[in-house]
């Protein structure tokens, strides 16, 4: 449970809610348990009436009834306040944790995202944080509840008879243990169910994204069969879970029953011996009921804490991961765009592929360089290194004569307009996709100009909604060439000092290529530009061409 220590900082942050919550639990418990005293008095009254053939005093019983009602209402009111403090606190902690994790995700480097699946990232921010919430909310709440109930009930019981108290308490630890075992089994099985569900969703998700390929190859049957197999597994594990869950309630009822029988049996003896009053038996039975849930919850809470702890370990694992791209901004001046690769070597840590080896390359400020080379030659890797998505393994990249690592990484990236090889457009309007690169709002004129420079303006205007056309999953599907050109517009709108085009004209015809290159010529005039391409035609305006 070591990992849960990191939650303590949150408890300190929300200490008032926690303390108030604890206080409300105690109040609620006192009012709830005091009902036992009223029930005892009422029972004694009835026994007395019957034994001594007295007339019934209605008002007395009405008072008993109203007092019980009042106690229940007051206890309920504090119960409400308790949930409003402790459960609310757990929601606040959940909120903070999700923000903390997401913010941290954003700082992590490309290598991290390569090594961890999206599903896993999503799981830790939703499932795992959710499980930790079960600890900060319900588990803490029931722990305080159990503790205060036991202390208060014990005080009430011991005042009456210690032997009977012992008898009532004896089976309770056993109850906790059994419930713990059952909850543990439930947890284990529901983890398996969760994993099966995860497989099922991943499969469905992949099917939906690949639906065009699946249909084109007429592989629907195969995928339907696969899903059915997974779904059968899912059902099997769910049924196994339902089986243990079915045990939970009966076990509780059985345990309570045993305790009640013991109380009546031994209590009866004590009444006959005149050691206690008949009302004490009803009082004790009530206490048994009041104690059962707190003790049962102890087992449940233990397994909640275990799960929360496992989840927090997984969360901490990610929180402790540090980006290998270390930002030590030393240089404050703006980037001019003089670039030099000196003996640059790069090996991808996961695949151990040496993508670049002793690369020496000089690009003067304002010049355009073309890079060509075979598939897998390391062209895109150059773009990755320039944008510091990865850092060189050996050698050094110099920008304006200074090592690239000395620049603030955010400032560096802001001064680069990068069109990646794989275009990504957000499910948003074309306007927002183009104006994506900075926080400041671009004027309509700037967006239009960028679209014109990228040679996509006419295409956009052909859509009924123009720049408001929503693209992506829930919108219009753009052609490969249209996507590429919107991606170019996104890169050039901010007029960055360095431009990197990674094979971004591959999906347009030679005429359009000519048009775009011509448009870009004026933008590229005094900017440093790297054009990566397989086609010589795309490199014709380059000042020099390097082949990898």
Regarding 376 and contact with ligand ATP (CB under 6 A), the answer is yes
Cβ proximity to ligand ATP, 7 vs 385, nearer residue:
385
Residue 141, token pair as written in the block: 């709440």
For the chain, the residue count is 548
Minimal distance in Å, beta carbon 379 to Mg ion? Answer: 5
Cβ proximity to ligand ATP, 300 vs 346, nearer residue:
346
Phi first, then psi: give them for residue 545, nearest 5 degrees. Answer: -120, 135
Regarding 477 and contact with ligand ATP (CB under 6 A), the answer is no
DSSP structural state of residue 394 = E
Q: Alpha-carbon distance 301 to 309, whole Å?
A: 12
Q: How many CB atoms lie within 10 A of CB 534?
A: 14
Q: Which residue from 350, 422, 511, 547 is in contact with ligand ATP, where contact means CB under 6 A?
A: 350
Total of residues contacting ligand ATP (CB under 6 A): 16
Regarding 381 and contact with ligand ATP (CB under 6 A), the answer is yes
Regarding 380 and contact with Mg ion (CB under 5 A), the answer is yes
406 to each of 59, 331, 333, 399, how far by Cα in Å? 87, 6, 11, 9
- Choices 130-138, 194-202, 301-309, 372-380 (CB under 6 A): range interacting with ligand ATP: 372-380
Cβ proximity to ligand ATP, 380 vs 482, nearer residue:
380
Residue 109, token pair as written in the block: 């480097």
Cβ proximity to ligand ATP, 126 vs 360, nearer residue:
360
Mind spelling out the 3-state secondary structure of 308-364? Answer: HHHHHHHHHHHHHCCCCCCCCCCECCCCCCCEEEEEEEEECCCCCCEEEEEEEEEEC
Q: Any residues with CB less than 8 A from the CB of 472 and at least 6 apart, and which?
A: 425, 426, 427, 428
Cβ proximity to Mg ion, 379 vs 431, nearer residue:
379
DSSP helix/strand/coil, 14: coil
Beta bridge partners of 345: 394
Which of Mg ion, ligand ATP, none binds 137 (CB below 5-8 Å, type-dependent)?
A: none
> Hey, which residues between 480 and 539 contact ligand ATP (CB under 6 A)?
503
Minimal distance in Å, beta carbon 539 to Mg ion? Answer: 15
Cβ proximity to ligand ATP, 88 vs 111, nearer residue:
111
Contact (Cβ atoms closer than 8 angstroms) between residue 414 and residue 496: yes
Regarding 421 and contact with Mg ion (CB under 5 A), the answer is yes
Pairing of strands 354-363, 339-347: antiparallel
447 to each of 25, 365, 422, 431, 466, how far by Cα in Å? 59, 26, 22, 7, 12
Contact (Cβ atoms closer than 8 angstroms) between residue 363 and residue 369: yes
Minimal distance in Å, beta carbon 385 to Mg ion? Answer: 13
Cβ proximity to ligand ATP, 114 vs 222, nearer residue:
114
Which of Mg ion, ligand ATP, none binds 351 (CB below 5-8 Å, type-dependent)?
A: ligand ATP
Q: Alpha-carbon distance 402 to 327, whole Å?
A: 15
Contact (Cβ atoms closer than 8 angstroms) between residue 453 and residue 517: no
Cβ proximity to ligand ATP, 350 vs 441, nearer residue:
350
Q: Which residue from 378, 417, 420, 496 is in contact with ligand ATP, where contact means CB under 6 A?
A: 378
Phi first, then psi: give them for residue 339, nearest 5 degrees. Answer: -125, 135
> Hey, which residues between 405 and 424 contact ligand ATP (CB under 6 A)?
421
Regarding 372 and contact with ligand ATP (CB under 6 A), the answer is no
Cβ proximity to Mg ion, 427 vs 537, nearer residue:
537
Minimal distance in Å, beta carbon 500 to Mg ion? Answer: 11
Regarding 52 and contact with ligand ATP (CB under 6 A), the answer is no
332 to each of 154, 270, 411, 531, how far by Cα in Å? 69, 87, 9, 27
Regarding 292 and contact with Mg ion (CB under 5 A), the answer is no
Cβ proximity to ligand ATP, 103 vs 351, nearer residue:
351
Regarding 67 and contact with Mg ion (CB under 5 A), the answer is no
Beta bridge partners of 417: 499
What is the per-residue binding string for ligand ATP in 105-144, x denoting contact by CB under 6 A? Answer: ---------x------------------------------
- Alpha carbon 227 to chain centroid distance? 26
- Alpha carbon 409 to chain centroid distance? 27
Query: Nearest-5° angle of CA 544, CA 545, CA 548?
Result: 145
Minimal distance in Å, beta carbon 461 to Mg ion? Answer: 31
Which of Mg ion, ligand ATP, none binds 376 (CB below 5-8 Å, type-dependent)?
A: ligand ATP
- Choices 344-352, 429-437, 443-451, 471-479 (CB under 6 A): range interacting with ligand ATP: 344-352
Interacting residues with ligand ATP (CB under 6 A): 114, 348, 350-351, 353, 355, 373, 375-381, 421, 503
Interacting residues with Mg ion (CB under 5 A): 379-380, 421
């Amino acid at each position: 449970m070591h990992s849960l220590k990191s939650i303590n900082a949150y408890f300190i942050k929300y200490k008032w809610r926690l303390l108030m919550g604890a206080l409300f639990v105690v109040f609620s418990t006192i009012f709830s348990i005091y009902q036992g005293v009223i029930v005892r008095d009422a029972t004694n009254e009835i026994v007395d009436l019957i034994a001594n053939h007295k007339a019934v005093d209605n008002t007395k019983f009405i008072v008993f009834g109203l007092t019980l009602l009042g106690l229940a209402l007051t206890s309920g009111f504090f119960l409400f306040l308790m949930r409003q403090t402790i459960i609310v606190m757990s929601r606040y902690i959940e909120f903070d944790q999700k923000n903390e994790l997401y913010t941290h995700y954003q700082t992590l480097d490309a290598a991290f995202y390569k090594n961890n699946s999206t599903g896993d990232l999503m799981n830790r921010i939703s499932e795992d944080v959710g499980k930790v919430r079960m600890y900060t909310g319900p588990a803490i709440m029931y722990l305080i509840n159990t503790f205060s109930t036991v202390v208060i009930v014990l005080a009430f019981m011991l005042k009456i008879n210690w032997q009977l108290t012992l008898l009532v308490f004896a089976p309770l630890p056993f109850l906790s243990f059994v419930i713990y075992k059952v909850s543990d089994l439930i947890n284990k099985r529901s983890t398996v169910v969760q994993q099966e569900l995860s497989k099922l969703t991943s499969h469905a998700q992949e099917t939906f994204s690949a639906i065009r390929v699946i249909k084109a190859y007429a592989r629907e049957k195969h995928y339907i069969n696969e899903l059915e197999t997974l779904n059968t597994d899912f059902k099997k594990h769910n049924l196994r879970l339902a089986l243990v869950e079915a045990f939970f309630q009966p076990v509780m009822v059985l345990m309570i029953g045993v305790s009640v029988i013991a109380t009546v049996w031994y209590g009866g003896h004590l009444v006959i011996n005149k050691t206690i009053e008949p009302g004490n038996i009803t009082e004790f039975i009530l206490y048994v009921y009041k104690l059962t849930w707190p003790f049962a919850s102890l087992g449940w809470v233990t397994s909640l804490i275990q799960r929360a702890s496992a989840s927090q370990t997984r969360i901490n694992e990610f929180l402790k991961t540090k980006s290998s791209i270390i930002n030590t901004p030393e240089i404050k001046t703006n980037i001019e765009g003089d670039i030099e690769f000196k003996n640059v070597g790069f090996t991808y840590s996961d695949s151990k592929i040496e993508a670049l080896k002793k690369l020496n390359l000089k690009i003067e400020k304002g010049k355009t360089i073309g890079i060509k080379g075979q598939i897998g030659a390391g062209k895109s890797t150059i773009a990755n290194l320039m944008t510091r998505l990865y850092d060189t393994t050996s050698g050094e990249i110099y920008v304006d004569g200074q090592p690239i690592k000395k620049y603030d990484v955010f400032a560096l990236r802001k001064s680069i307009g990068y069109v990646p090889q794989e275009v990504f457009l957000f499910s948003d309007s074309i306007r927002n996709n183009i104006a994506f690169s900075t926080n400041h709002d671009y004027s309509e004129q700037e967006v239009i100009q960028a679209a014109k420079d990228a040679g996509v303006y006419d295409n956009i205007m052909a859509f009924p909604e123009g720049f408001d056309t929503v693209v992506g999953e829930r919108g219009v599907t753009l052609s490969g060439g249209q996507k590429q050109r919107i991606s170019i517009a996104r890169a050039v709108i901010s007029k960055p000092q360095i431009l990197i085009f990674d094979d971004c004209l591959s999906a347009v015809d030679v005429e359009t290529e000519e048009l775009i290159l011509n448009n870009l010529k004026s933008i590229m005039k005094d900017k440093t530009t790297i054009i990566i391409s397989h086609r010589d035609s795309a490199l014709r305006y380059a000042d020099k061409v390097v082949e990898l």
